[in-house]
Amino acid sequence: MSDTARLSHSGHTVVIPLYDKVAWIGETIASLAEQTQPPDQLVIVDDASTDGSMEAAYDALAAHTDALSGCRIDLVALPQNRGPGAARNAGMARAVGERISFLDADDIYRADALHTIGERMRSHQLGMAVLGYDSAPQGEFWPEPNTLEGDLVPLEADTFLMTDPLGTVAHPAFVMGRASNVAVRRTLLRHFKYHTGVRLNEGIDFWYRVLKPAVREGVRVGLITEPLIRFRVLEDSLSHRMPSHWRELDVPPSLLRFAESCDEDDQRLKSMLARRWIDHACTSLPNPAQIRDFLSHHRPLLVQCGVADVEVAP
C-alpha cells in the first residue's frame, strides 16, 4: 500500500499556515515532534513570508528528523501573500490523512494532543471534535467550566457529545475556529474552502459551513475540554490589532453569507456573531465618534442579522 493510500485510511494530517512567524515556528514544529503520537503528515504552507520563516521551518524540521521520521512532510510556498484562509486552503489540498487539523504557526499542541484527538474520535465515533485551549501569556482558558452544561452529554471525563451542534455553536460562550481548535474527519471537508477576503472570523464561517451538512447526515460532534492547544497571543496578532478607523474592521463573512437566510440555525449564528462584532468594535475603536460611525454605517446589516436594539448615540 502506498503512503497516500495508507494515510487516506488512517492517520492525522496537521496543516500549518505560516506567515512571518520566524520567532515561533521552530517551537510549533517542536511541539509536533514531541507528540506521544506524532502526525502522519505535516503540511506547512508559507504565505510569502518576508522574515525568513520558511528557512526557520527547514531548520526546525532538520533538528527533529528522527522524531518525525515516520511523518510525510509537504512544504508549499505561495507566490504572494493572501492571508491565512488561502494558506489553509492550499494545505487542505495536500492533506491525505483520515483526520485533519490546523495549527497556527505561533501555537503549540500539548504533548498528548494528537493521541487524545485520535483516541476520542475513534472510541466515540466522532466526525468532528472541537478542542479546548489556553492562551499565553494571558492565561485565558476555554471552555470555562459550567458555561455549556445544558448543551453537552458526557462521554468521559474530558469529552462530551453535542446534542444540538448547530445550536451550541451559536451559544455566546462557545468558540469554534479560534486557535484553529477543530479536528475533523477529512471526508467531511468535501469542497469547502476558507473565505479569503478577510483575515478575521474566517474560522467560524468555515467550520459552520462544514458542520451544517455533517449534522444533517447524523455525524457525531464532540467537545474535548482539555486545553490541547496553547494559543499564543502576540502584540501583532490579527485578533488583537487595534484599528485606527472603523472601516478597518472587516465584516464577519458569516453575516454577509447568511444575512438574508431565514434558517433558524443561521439566524442564531448571525445574531451571536453580530453582537460579538459590536462588542469588538466598542472595545477596540479609538473613540466614541468612531463607534457611532461604525454602528450607523452597519445598522441595516446588524438589524438584518437580528440585532434590532442597536442604538447610535448622538
Domain architecture of the chain: domains with CATH:
3-238 (3.90.550.10), 242-304 (no CATH)
Q: All 3 cell numbers of residue 101?
A: 487539523
**Per-residue pLDDT at 232:** 86
Contacts with 42 (C-beta within 8 Å, 6 or more apart), sequence order: 13, 14, 16, 29, 32, 68, 71, 72, 73, 74
How many CB atoms are located within 10 Å of the residue 164 CB?
15
Per-residue pLDDT of the chain (314 residues; tens, 9 = 90+): 556 656 666 799 999 999 999 999 999 999 999 999 999 999 999 999 999 999 999 999 999 999 999 999 999 999 999 999 999 999 999 999 999 999 999 999 999 999 999 999 999 999 999 999 998 777 889 998 888 878 899 999 999 999 999 999 999 999 998 889 999 999 999 889 999 877 678 999 999 999 999 999 999 999 999 999 999 877 655 555 678 899 999 899 999 999 999 999 999 999 999 999 999 999 999 999 999 999 999 999 999 999 977 665 55
Q: What is the pTM of this model?
A: 0.92
**Per-residue pLDDT at 238:** 54
**Per-residue pLDDT at 80:** 95
**Per-residue pLDDT at 66:** 97
**DSSP output for the chain:** --HHHHHHHS-EEEEEEESS-TTTHHHHHHHHHT-SS--SEEEEEE---SSSHHHHHHHHHHHTTTTTTTSEEEEEE-SS---HHHHHHHHHHH--SSEEEE--TT-EE-TTHHHHHHHHHHHTTEEEEEEEEEEETT--EESPTTSSGGGEEEEETTEEEESSHHHHTTSTT---BTBT-EEEEGGGTTT-----S-SSSHHHHHHHHHHHHHHHTT-EEEEEEEEEEEEE--TT-GGGPPPSSGGGSPPPHHHHHTTT---HHHHHHHHHHHHHHHHHHHHHSSSHHHHHHHHHHHHHHHHHTT-TT-----
**Per-residue pLDDT at 259:** 94
- Strands 220-232 and 108-109 come out as antiparallel
**Per-residue pLDDT at 237:** 57
